[in-house]
Structures are given as C-alpha cells and as structure tokens.
C-alpha cells in the first residue's frame, strides 16, 4: 500500500492506493495532520511507502511520516517517466510534474492538455512523443474575486455564484460576469489554441473548481478530480527503484 500526501495552498489531501487502485482519500487541515496520519496507519498497517508533494515550504510533515514508513519528498530532482523539455525544470511545480505523469500513464502516446482549476489555473501539455513542453499559469477563480476586492476601494468580496446573464446590470452581477464568464472564455480559448497546434488533443480537467467549470465549457473535456493523486502514486512507484 502507498500513502499519497498532497499539500496545497489551502488544504492537505491524503490518499491510500493498493495496486494502483485508490482505496480512500480525504481532505484535512494541517492542524490535525499528525492525528490523522496515526489514524490512517492504524487502519491500514500495510502502508509501506509514502510520497509528499507540496506547493509551499514543508514543515514537520516528512519527519512525521518517516516515523511510520519510507518517505519520498517529490522535487524537480525526482525521477519522472516523461521527457522534460521545460527550460527551467528547477522551477517547475511538483503539482504540475504529478499531473503530467498521470497524463503520461493514463493517456499514453497522445497529445494531452491537463487543466488544473485550483488556486491557480495551470495548463500543461504533453505530446504524443511523451515529451512535456510546458504550458501556462493563470489566476484561479477565488484569486480573481479577491483581487477585485483587495485592489479596489469599493468592490465587495464575493463568492462564486450562478451567472444568469453575461451582461451584468448591478455591480455584483458585473463582477460575477467578469470573473466567471471571463475565466470560462479564457479556458475555452486556450483549449482552442492548443487544438490548432496539437492533433487529436485530449483535454483533462481537474482541481477543486473543475466541477464549476466542467458544465460551462464549450469544449469536450474529461473531468477527473483524482488526477493529481493518481499521478503522485505513479511517481512514488517510479521512484521506488
């Protein structure tokens, strides 16, 4: 059994895999990390290996996990199954490495664009030769609402809401249109750009806001909320040898 730990900007995701099959996954806060890890190892004593992926500076998490099993901390120096043509691999986020790894294994030898709709929107392309080329990073849904509020004196802080019409007739509905309609059109536009360059493109949408955008996009996509966790498990297996 493998334990996957994905430390994001706001939450920690824990997942247990057995023979590449996802058994259980949970979202927790850092406050209960130690108690939850103890609970998981009591419930699943066959866990022998763990991988940690973090988009922020790690604290005590690796040391805590090392009390229970072997630990691999994912970094740009970790082995990856794809050819990495990113010009600055040392700056490539470990979350993006995991997403591309999942695409490499789950959609082999096909042009694949992975869109992760989280705190940021990341776009990552791996071609039909198994070569990672790069992509883009854009502000996510919540970040755009916060920017409108924090960078102005008069605009309120809003939560995402259903967009009744792209023509806003109040300040709040205009903000919703700007964020939701703007971001949806951005994602659709980016997909169209990639389709023009990459033949028979497969598009995979994942991340915390994937459900929000999945039903709004004009383009055909495959939604997979567990894509990052699956990629991390593949990387753990790949780095065991």
Distance CA 80, CA 210 (A): 25
| Backbone phi, psi, residue 183, to 5° | -70, -40
Tokens 């028979």 correspond to 200
Instruction: Identify which of 99, 58, 52 has the alpha carbon closest to the alpha carbon of residue 228.
Output: 99
| 67 neighbors 41 (Cβ within 8 angstroms) | no
- CA distances in angstroms from 208 to 106, 171, 229, listed in the order given: 20, 26, 13
- Give the active site residue among 6, 95, 116, 124: 95
Among the ranges given (41-45, 75-79, 209-213), the one the predictor scored with the smallest mean pLDDT: 209-213
pLDDT in tens, 5-38: 999 877 899 999 998 899 999 999 988 999 999 9
What integer pLDDT is reported at residue 167 of this predicted model? 95
Distant-in-sequence, close-in-space partners of 200: CB < 8 Å, separation ≥ 6: 110, 111
Residue 56, pLDDT score = 86
- Looking at residue 212, what is its pLDDT? 87
Q: State yes or no: is 95 an active-site residue.
A: yes
Number of Cβ within 10 Å of residue 12's Cβ equals 20
State the pLDDT at residue 178: 96
The DSSP code for 167 is S
Q: Is there a contact between 119 and 143 (Cβ–Cβ < 8 Å)?
A: yes
How many other C-beta atoms lie within 10 A of the C-beta of residue 167?
Answer: 9
């Amino acid at each position: 059994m493998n334990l996957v730990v994905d430390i994001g900007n706001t939450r920690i995701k824990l997942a247990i895999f057995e023979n590449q099959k996802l058994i259980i996954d949970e979202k927790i806060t850092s406050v209960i990390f130690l108690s939850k890890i103890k609970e998981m190892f009591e419930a699943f004593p066959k866990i022998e290996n763990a991988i940690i992926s973090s988009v922020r500076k790690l604290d005590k998490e690796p040391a805590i996990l090392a009390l229970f099993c072997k630990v691999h901390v994912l970094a740009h120096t970790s082995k990856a199954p794809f050819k990495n043509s990113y010009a600055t691999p040392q700056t490539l986020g470990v979350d993006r490495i995991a997403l591309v790894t999942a695409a490499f294994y789950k959609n082999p030898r096909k042009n694949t664009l992975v869109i992760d709709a989280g705190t940021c929107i990341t776009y990552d392309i791996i071609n039909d030769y198994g070569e990672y080329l790069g992509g883009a990073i854009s502000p996510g849904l919540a970040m755009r609402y916060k920017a409108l509020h924090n960078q102005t004196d008069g605009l309120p802080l809003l939560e995402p809401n259903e967009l009744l019409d792209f023509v806003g007739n109040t300040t709040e509905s205009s903000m919703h249109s700007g964020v939701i309609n703007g971001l949806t059109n951005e994602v659709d536009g980016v997909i169209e750009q990639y389709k023009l360059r990459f033949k028979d493109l497969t598009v995979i949408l994942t991340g915390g806001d994937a459900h929000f955008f999945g039903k709004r996009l004009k383009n055909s996509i495959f939604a997979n909320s567990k894509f990052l966790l699956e990629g991390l498990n593949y990387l753990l297996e790949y780095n065991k040898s």
